[in-house]
Amino acid sequence: MRQLCYLAATVLFLFSSCVSSHYPIDKVPCVQLNPALLGTWKINETSERNNSIIISRKSAYEYMVEYAQGGNKGSEFFNAYISEIDHNYFINFSSAKDTVKDYMFFRILYVSKTGDRFKLAIVGDTTMREVKDAAKIRATISRNLLKSDFYSDTTELFRIR
- The tens digit of pLDDT for each residue in 113-151 reads 998 999 999 999 988 888 989 999 999 999 999 999 999
Count of helices and strands (H, E) across the chain: 2, 8
Instruction: Pick the closest to residue 62 from 90, 40, 30, 89 (CA basis).
Output: 30
pTM, 2 dp: 0.84
What pLDDT, on a 0 to 100 scale, did the predictor assign at position 46?
Answer: 62
Find the domain containing 95 and state its range: 2-159
**DSSP code for 81:** E
Which residue(s) pair with 153 in the sheet? 122
Mean pLDDT, residues 93-112: 89
Percent of the chain's residues with pLDDT above 90 = 58
Q: The domain that contains 94 carries what CATH number?
A: 2.40.128.570
Q: How many residues does the chain have?
A: 161
Domain count, the chain: 1
Q: State which amino acid sits at residue 153.
A: D
